[in-house]
Amino acid sequence: MEQKKKETGVVYRQQEIATGIFDMWVETSLAAQARAGQFISVYPQDKSTLLPRPISICEADAEHGRLRIVYRVAGKGTKEFSGYRAGMKVDILGTLGNGFPIAEAVKKRVFLIGGGIGIPPMLALAKALKDTDTAAIDIILGYRDKELFLSEELARYGSVHIATEDGSAGAKGNVMDAIAAEGLEADIIFACGPMPMLRAIKQYAQEREIPAYISLEERMACGVGACLGCVVKTREVDHHSHVNNARICTDGPVYLATEVEL
Protein backbone atom coordinates (compact mmCIF):
# COMPACT_ATOMS: atom_id res chain seq x y z
CA MET A 1 0.00 0.00 0.00
CA GLU A 2 1.22 3.50 -0.81
CA GLN A 3 2.44 5.70 2.01
CA LYS A 4 -0.04 8.37 3.09
CA LYS A 5 1.33 11.88 3.02
CA LYS A 6 0.31 15.47 3.46
CA GLU A 7 0.86 17.75 0.52
CA THR A 8 -0.33 20.99 -1.01
CA GLY A 9 -2.48 20.52 -4.08
CA VAL A 10 -3.83 23.13 -6.47
CA VAL A 11 -7.50 23.53 -7.37
CA TYR A 12 -7.90 22.77 -11.07
CA ARG A 13 -11.58 23.69 -11.23
CA GLN A 14 -14.73 23.71 -9.11
CA GLN A 15 -18.44 24.07 -9.73
CA GLU A 16 -21.72 23.66 -7.87
CA ILE A 17 -23.55 20.70 -9.45
CA ALA A 18 -26.64 20.66 -7.19
CA THR A 19 -27.90 22.82 -4.34
CA GLY A 20 -25.08 22.84 -1.79
CA ILE A 21 -23.16 20.08 -3.64
CA PHE A 22 -19.74 21.05 -4.99
CA ASP A 23 -17.51 19.27 -7.50
CA MET A 24 -13.78 20.01 -7.15
CA TRP A 25 -10.78 18.72 -9.10
CA VAL A 26 -7.42 19.05 -7.35
CA GLU A 27 -4.00 18.70 -8.98
CA THR A 28 -2.00 16.38 -6.71
CA SER A 29 0.48 13.52 -6.90
CA LEU A 30 -1.93 11.48 -4.75
CA ALA A 31 -3.98 10.76 -7.88
CA ALA A 32 -1.44 8.13 -8.88
CA GLN A 33 -2.18 5.91 -5.87
CA ALA A 34 -5.91 6.51 -5.31
CA ARG A 35 -8.20 3.48 -5.22
CA ALA A 36 -11.99 3.29 -5.32
CA GLY A 37 -13.37 3.58 -1.79
CA GLN A 38 -10.49 5.61 -0.36
CA PHE A 39 -10.73 9.20 0.87
CA ILE A 40 -8.58 12.26 1.53
CA SER A 41 -8.58 14.71 4.43
CA VAL A 42 -8.83 18.34 3.36
CA TYR A 43 -7.46 21.04 5.67
CA PRO A 44 -9.27 24.38 5.94
CA GLN A 45 -7.09 27.50 5.71
CA ASP A 46 -9.06 29.04 8.59
CA LYS A 47 -6.89 28.12 11.59
CA SER A 48 -9.86 28.37 13.96
CA THR A 49 -11.11 25.24 12.21
CA LEU A 50 -8.69 22.73 13.70
CA LEU A 51 -9.56 19.45 12.06
CA PRO A 52 -9.37 18.37 8.42
CA ARG A 53 -12.53 17.22 6.66
CA PRO A 54 -12.61 13.64 5.30
CA ILE A 55 -14.02 13.54 1.76
CA SER A 56 -14.43 10.48 -0.44
CA ILE A 57 -12.54 10.25 -3.71
CA CYS A 58 -15.06 10.56 -6.53
CA GLU A 59 -12.63 10.06 -9.39
CA ALA A 60 -8.88 9.87 -10.01
CA ASP A 61 -7.10 10.94 -13.18
CA ALA A 62 -3.62 9.49 -12.71
CA GLU A 63 -2.51 10.53 -16.21
CA HIS A 64 -3.03 14.23 -15.50
CA GLY A 65 -2.39 14.06 -11.74
CA ARG A 66 -5.85 15.12 -10.60
CA LEU A 67 -8.27 13.95 -7.91
CA ARG A 68 -11.98 14.72 -7.90
CA ILE A 69 -14.04 15.21 -4.78
CA VAL A 70 -17.77 15.90 -4.62
CA TYR A 71 -19.03 17.10 -1.25
CA ARG A 72 -21.97 18.73 0.49
CA VAL A 73 -21.57 22.03 2.34
CA ALA A 74 -22.36 21.00 5.90
CA GLY A 75 -20.40 23.37 8.14
CA LYS A 76 -17.62 25.90 8.44
CA GLY A 77 -14.90 23.82 6.77
CA THR A 78 -16.85 22.73 3.71
CA LYS A 79 -18.30 26.25 3.37
CA GLU A 80 -14.72 27.49 3.05
CA PHE A 81 -13.88 24.85 0.46
CA SER A 82 -16.89 25.86 -1.65
CA GLY A 83 -15.29 29.27 -2.16
CA TYR A 84 -12.06 27.89 -3.63
CA ARG A 85 -11.30 28.83 -7.21
CA ALA A 86 -8.91 27.51 -9.87
CA GLY A 87 -5.28 28.10 -8.97
CA MET A 88 -5.82 28.24 -5.20
CA LYS A 89 -3.76 25.97 -2.97
CA VAL A 90 -5.35 23.29 -0.81
CA ASP A 91 -3.65 21.15 1.84
CA ILE A 92 -4.63 17.49 1.76
CA LEU A 93 -3.65 14.23 3.44
CA GLY A 94 -4.00 10.98 1.56
CA THR A 95 -4.74 8.58 0.33
CA LEU A 96 -6.56 7.21 3.36
CA GLY A 97 -8.48 4.07 4.23
CA ASN A 98 -8.91 0.83 2.38
CA GLY A 99 -10.86 0.42 -0.84
CA PHE A 100 -13.60 -1.76 -2.26
CA PRO A 101 -12.50 -5.35 -3.09
CA ILE A 102 -13.01 -5.08 -6.82
CA ALA A 103 -11.79 -8.61 -7.54
CA GLU A 104 -14.82 -9.97 -5.64
CA ALA A 105 -17.09 -8.74 -8.45
CA VAL A 106 -15.70 -11.03 -11.17
CA LYS A 107 -18.44 -13.06 -12.91
CA LYS A 108 -21.09 -11.63 -10.57
CA ARG A 109 -24.18 -9.47 -10.83
CA VAL A 110 -23.25 -6.33 -8.92
CA PHE A 111 -25.27 -3.70 -7.05
CA LEU A 112 -23.57 -0.34 -6.60
CA ILE A 113 -25.72 1.54 -4.10
CA GLY A 114 -25.17 5.18 -3.19
CA GLY A 115 -27.28 7.40 -0.99
CA GLY A 116 -26.88 11.18 -0.84
CA ILE A 117 -23.26 12.17 -0.46
CA GLY A 118 -22.43 8.45 -0.55
CA ILE A 119 -23.02 8.61 -4.31
CA PRO A 120 -19.66 10.22 -5.35
CA PRO A 121 -17.41 7.26 -4.41
CA MET A 122 -19.64 5.01 -6.54
CA LEU A 123 -18.29 6.77 -9.64
CA ALA A 124 -14.68 5.80 -8.87
CA LEU A 125 -15.89 2.26 -8.17
CA ALA A 126 -17.97 2.05 -11.34
CA LYS A 127 -14.97 3.16 -13.41
CA ALA A 128 -12.75 0.59 -11.68
CA LEU A 129 -15.27 -2.17 -12.41
CA LYS A 130 -15.43 -1.18 -16.08
CA ASP A 131 -12.48 -3.43 -16.90
CA THR A 132 -13.60 -6.23 -14.57
CA ASP A 133 -15.46 -9.20 -15.98
CA THR A 134 -18.75 -8.64 -14.16
CA ALA A 135 -21.98 -10.30 -15.23
CA ALA A 136 -24.01 -7.08 -14.83
CA ILE A 137 -23.89 -3.80 -12.93
CA ASP A 138 -27.00 -2.15 -11.50
CA ILE A 139 -26.40 1.26 -9.96
CA ILE A 140 -29.06 2.27 -7.43
CA LEU A 141 -28.97 5.90 -6.31
CA GLY A 142 -30.94 7.61 -3.57
CA TYR A 143 -31.58 11.37 -3.65
CA ARG A 144 -33.64 13.85 -1.68
CA ASP A 145 -35.22 15.31 -4.83
CA LYS A 146 -34.82 15.55 -8.61
CA GLU A 147 -31.33 17.10 -8.46
CA LEU A 148 -29.72 13.88 -9.67
CA PHE A 149 -26.05 14.83 -9.45
CA LEU A 150 -23.60 12.36 -11.07
CA SER A 151 -26.38 10.07 -12.32
CA GLU A 152 -25.64 10.72 -16.01
CA GLU A 153 -21.94 10.01 -15.52
CA LEU A 154 -22.70 6.80 -13.63
CA ALA A 155 -25.02 5.68 -16.43
CA ARG A 156 -21.94 5.16 -18.63
CA TYR A 157 -20.94 2.19 -16.48
CA GLY A 158 -24.16 0.37 -15.69
CA SER A 159 -27.96 0.50 -15.49
CA VAL A 160 -28.96 3.38 -13.23
CA HIS A 161 -32.05 3.16 -11.01
CA ILE A 162 -33.24 6.21 -9.08
CA ALA A 163 -35.10 6.69 -5.81
CA THR A 164 -36.09 10.10 -4.43
CA GLU A 165 -37.49 10.91 -1.02
CA ASP A 166 -40.09 13.26 -2.48
CA GLY A 167 -40.98 11.06 -5.46
CA SER A 168 -39.92 13.71 -8.00
CA ALA A 169 -37.82 11.19 -9.95
CA GLY A 170 -37.67 7.40 -10.10
CA ALA A 171 -39.19 5.37 -7.29
CA LYS A 172 -40.62 7.28 -4.34
CA GLY A 173 -38.74 6.40 -1.15
CA ASN A 174 -35.25 5.00 -0.70
CA VAL A 175 -32.85 2.73 -2.59
CA MET A 176 -34.49 -0.41 -1.19
CA ASP A 177 -37.82 0.77 -2.61
CA ALA A 178 -36.18 1.14 -6.04
CA ILE A 179 -34.73 -2.36 -5.84
CA ALA A 180 -38.12 -3.81 -4.90
CA ALA A 181 -40.04 -1.78 -7.49
CA GLU A 182 -37.84 -2.98 -10.34
CA GLY A 183 -37.30 -6.54 -9.09
CA LEU A 184 -33.53 -6.20 -9.18
CA GLU A 185 -31.23 -9.01 -8.04
CA ALA A 186 -27.48 -9.26 -7.37
CA ASP A 187 -24.76 -11.62 -6.21
CA ILE A 188 -22.71 -8.95 -4.42
CA ILE A 189 -23.31 -5.43 -3.10
CA PHE A 190 -21.04 -2.40 -2.78
CA ALA A 191 -22.60 0.56 -0.97
CA CYS A 192 -21.98 3.93 0.64
CA GLY A 193 -24.48 6.21 2.31
CA PRO A 194 -26.20 7.15 5.57
CA MET A 195 -26.42 4.62 8.38
CA PRO A 196 -30.16 3.80 8.03
CA MET A 197 -29.54 2.87 4.40
CA LEU A 198 -26.56 0.69 5.29
CA ARG A 199 -28.55 -1.10 8.00
CA ALA A 200 -31.27 -1.91 5.48
CA ILE A 201 -28.69 -3.15 2.98
CA LYS A 202 -27.04 -5.35 5.60
CA GLN A 203 -30.38 -6.95 6.48
CA TYR A 204 -31.27 -7.39 2.78
CA ALA A 205 -27.91 -9.05 2.08
CA GLN A 206 -28.10 -11.36 5.09
CA GLU A 207 -31.60 -12.51 4.16
CA ARG A 208 -30.33 -13.44 0.69
CA GLU A 209 -26.95 -14.74 1.88
CA ILE A 210 -24.95 -12.48 -0.42
CA PRO A 211 -21.88 -10.44 0.55
CA ALA A 212 -22.29 -6.69 1.04
CA TYR A 213 -19.29 -4.37 1.29
CA ILE A 214 -20.28 -1.07 2.87
CA SER A 215 -18.38 2.18 3.19
CA LEU A 216 -19.19 3.89 6.48
CA GLU A 217 -19.75 7.63 6.50
CA GLU A 218 -18.36 8.87 9.79
CA ARG A 219 -17.02 12.08 11.28
CA MET A 220 -13.27 11.70 11.64
CA ALA A 221 -10.64 13.75 13.41
CA CYS A 222 -7.06 12.68 12.78
CA GLY A 223 -7.72 10.40 9.80
CA VAL A 224 -4.73 8.19 10.65
CA GLY A 225 -6.03 6.01 13.49
CA ALA A 226 -4.47 7.78 16.46
CA CYS A 227 -7.42 9.45 18.16
CA LEU A 228 -10.05 6.65 18.14
CA GLY A 229 -12.68 9.24 17.29
CA CYS A 230 -14.33 7.16 14.56
CA VAL A 231 -14.71 3.65 15.92
CA VAL A 232 -17.33 1.11 14.92
CA LYS A 233 -18.29 -2.02 16.86
CA THR A 234 -16.99 -5.20 15.26
CA ARG A 235 -17.39 -8.93 15.55
CA GLU A 236 -13.65 -9.45 16.08
CA VAL A 237 -11.32 -7.91 18.68
CA ASP A 238 -9.26 -4.99 17.33
CA HIS A 239 -5.50 -5.56 17.69
CA HIS A 240 -4.94 -1.85 18.41
CA SER A 241 -7.49 -1.20 21.17
CA HIS A 242 -8.03 -4.86 22.27
CA VAL A 243 -11.81 -4.42 22.31
CA ASN A 244 -14.54 -5.15 19.79
CA ASN A 245 -14.14 -2.07 17.65
CA ALA A 246 -12.23 -0.83 14.64
CA ARG A 247 -11.03 2.59 13.47
CA ILE A 248 -13.01 3.53 10.39
CA CYS A 249 -10.29 5.86 9.07
CA THR A 250 -7.61 3.15 8.92
CA ASP A 251 -9.36 -0.24 9.13
CA GLY A 252 -12.19 1.03 6.94
CA PRO A 253 -14.08 2.84 5.65
CA VAL A 254 -15.06 -0.28 3.67
CA TYR A 255 -16.19 -3.33 5.63
CA LEU A 256 -17.94 -6.58 4.92
CA ALA A 257 -21.33 -5.82 6.45
CA THR A 258 -21.33 -8.93 8.65
CA GLU A 259 -18.11 -7.77 10.33
CA VAL A 260 -19.60 -4.62 11.87
CA GLU A 261 -22.53 -3.68 14.09
CA LEU A 262 -24.59 -0.86 12.65
pLDDT band at 2 (very low <50, low <70, confident <90, very high): low
Is the per-residue pLDDT at 228 higher than 50?
Answer: no
Q: Which CATH architecture has domain 5-96?
A: Beta Barrel (2.40)
Listed range (137-141, 188-192, 246-250) with the worst mean pLDDT: 246-250
Is the per-residue pLDDT at 219 higher than 60?
Answer: no
pLDDT for the residue 160: 98
pLDDT for 93-112, tens place per residue?
A: 999 999 999 999 999 999 99
Please say whether the beta carbons of 88 and 81 come within 8 A: no
pLDDT for 62-74, tens place per residue?
A: 999 999 999 999 9
pLDDT for the residue 235: 55
Is the per-residue pLDDT at 227 higher than 50?
Answer: no
- Give span(s): CATH 3.40.50.80, the chain: 102-217
pLDDT for the residue 58: 98
pLDDT for the residue 243: 46
% of the chain with per-residue pLDDT over 90: 79
Q: What is the mean pLDDT of residues 193-203?
A: 95
Is the per-residue pLDDT at 218 higher than 60?
Answer: no
Q: Which CATH architecture has domain 102-217?
A: 3-Layer(aba) Sandwich (3.40)
Q: What is the mean pLDDT of residues 50-67?
A: 94
Q: pTM of this prediction?
A: 0.89
Instruction: Please state, in angstroms and rounded to a whole number, the distance separating the CA atoms of residues 29 and 10.
Output: 11
Is the per-residue pLDDT at 251 higher than 70?
Answer: no
Instruction: Name which residue leads in pLDDT, 1 or 49.
Output: 49
Please say whether the beta carbons of 111 and 189 come within 8 A: yes
Helix axes 195-208, 175-182, angle to 10 degrees: 40
Instruction: Please state, in angstroms and rounded to a whole number, the distance separating the CA atoms of residues 198 and 191.
Output: 7
Which residues make beta-bridge pairs with 193? 216
pLDDT for 143-178, tens place per residue?
A: 999 999 999 999 999 999 999 999 999 999 999 999
**What is the chain's mean pLDDT, rounded?**
89
- Give span(s): CATH 2.40.30.10, the chain: 5-96
Radius of gyration in angstroms for the set of CA atoms belonging to the chain, rounded to a whole number: 18
Is the per-residue pLDDT at 203 higher than 70?
Answer: yes
pLDDT for the residue 50: 76
